[in-house]
């Protein structure tokens, strides 16, 4: 996995956004896999700026979000539907028909068939060109909590108490954080052609060091990215602070031939 360390979240997000913009300019109907949470906010801000100031065109772009809380209607202020429209989709020229987010309103025995259809929709769109990921403080990607099958597909998951506590800030109390979610699986994420993992802040340092330099293990789901041929992690100084080889990663990035910076 390529490790790119920047001084702070905005500069890291600018690099990640430039990568995504290149993909969209080369393939205007690119399929983006999108993430929610605090981490991708500066990335969305930069993509919106590129749209407004540099004409980055989302009119043919297709998107698939990683996950959604079960039990939350799209209008719920903590739903990921709401998050995506508020922070990104309503600010670029994406078509609503090209946006896919798992429904939070599926229940009971309908869930497995619904999840298989989500997988089928990704396949019929030609697969995900670039998947954006945050990382949980426990190493989760999407909502694939530690212990998730490394081959898992889109399905229902039960959140850990740690994740519910981490995400309580988006709700009026921790009790309101749903216990269940629909999430793309780790196998689904690994099928993306490129993966961009973003992590900012000291709270992510332990998860990041396990993911980048630890063993590949379901105990840190993000560690599977070591097996992905095109995975890049964009880190700020704090999130990178637990990495043993951080000076080498910096060196690699500084010494990159200019032609390679655009890949």
Tokens of 63: 């998107």
195 binds ligand PGA (CB under 6 A): no
Residue with tokens 């740690």, as numbered in its chain: 162
Rounded distance between C-alpha atoms, residue 178 and residue 198, angstroms:
24
Q: Which is nearer to ligand PGA, 38 or 241 (CB)?
A: 38
How far apart are CB 107 and ligand PGA at their closest, in Å? 23
Q: Which is nearer to ligand PGA, 93 or 149 (CB)?
A: 149
Catalytic residues: 67, 138, 140, 145
How far apart are CB 117 and ligand PGA at their closest, in Å? 24
Tokens of 164: 């519910």
Closest residue to bound ligand PGA by CB: 37
Q: Confirm if 186 and 222 have CB atoms less than 8 A apart.
A: no
Contact string 104-143 vs ligand PGA (x = CB under 6 A): ------------------------------xxx-------
Rounded distance between C-alpha atoms, residue 50 and residue 71, angstroms:
35
How far apart are CB 37 and ligand PGA at their closest, in Å? 3
Site for ligand PGA in 220-259 (CB under 6 A): none
Tokens of 245: 């080889």
How far apart are CB 197 and ligand PGA at their closest, in Å? 10
Q: Confirm if 227 and 216 have CB atoms less than 8 A apart.
A: yes
How far apart are CB 136 and ligand PGA at their closest, in Å? 4
E strand map for the chain? 2-6, 31-34, 62-65, 67-69, 99-100, 130-133, 155-158, 180-183, 194-199, 231-236
Site for ligand PGA in 25-44 (CB under 6 A): 37-39
Q: Which is nearer to ligand PGA, 98 or 166 (CB)?
A: 166
Q: Which is nearer to ligand PGA, 98 or 205 (CB)?
A: 205
Q: Confirm if 57 and 48 have CB atoms less than 8 A apart.
A: no
Residue with tokens 């080889």, as numbered in its chain: 245
Is residue 133 helix, strand or coil? strand
Q: Which is nearer to ligand PGA, 102 or 134 (CB)?
A: 134
65 binds ligand PGA (CB under 6 A): no
Distances in Å between the alpha carbon of 262 and those of 22, 54, 110, 165?
8, 18, 43, 39
Q: Which residues bind ligand PGA (CB under 6 A)?
A: 37-39, 134-136
């Amino acid at each position: 996995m390529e490790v790119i360390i920047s001084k702070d979240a905005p500069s890291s997000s600018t690099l990640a956004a430039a990568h995504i913009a290149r993909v969209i300019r080369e393939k205007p109907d690119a399929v983006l896999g999108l993430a929610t949470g605090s981490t991708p906010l500066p990335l969305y801000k930069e993509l919106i700026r590129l749209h407004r100031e540099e004409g980055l065109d989302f009119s043919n772009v297709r998107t698939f979000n990683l996950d959604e809380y079960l039990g939350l209607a799209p209008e719920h202020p903590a739903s990921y539907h709401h998050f995506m429209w508020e922070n990104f989709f309503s600010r670029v020229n994406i078509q609503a028909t090209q946006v896919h987010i798992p429904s939070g309103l599926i229940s009971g025995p309908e869930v497995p068939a619904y999840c298989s259809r989500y997988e089928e929709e990704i396949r019929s769109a030609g697969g995900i060109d670039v998947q954006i990921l945050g990382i949980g403080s426990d190493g989760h990607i999407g909502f694939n909590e530690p212990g998730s099958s490394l081959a898992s597909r889109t399905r229902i998951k039960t959140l850990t108490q740690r994740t519910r506590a981490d995400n309580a800030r988006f709700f009026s109390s921790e009790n309101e954080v749903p216990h269940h979610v629909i999430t793309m699986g780790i196998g689904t994420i690994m099928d993306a052609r490129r993966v961009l993992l973003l992590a900012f802040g000291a709270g992510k340092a332990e998860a990041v060091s396990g993911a980048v330099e630890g063993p590949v293990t379901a105990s840190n789901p993000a560690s599977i990215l070591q097996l992905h041929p095109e995975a890049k992690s964009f880190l700020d100084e704090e999130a990178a602070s637990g990495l043993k080889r951080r000076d080498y990663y910096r060196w690699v990035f500084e010494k990159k031939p200019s032609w390679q910076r655009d890949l």
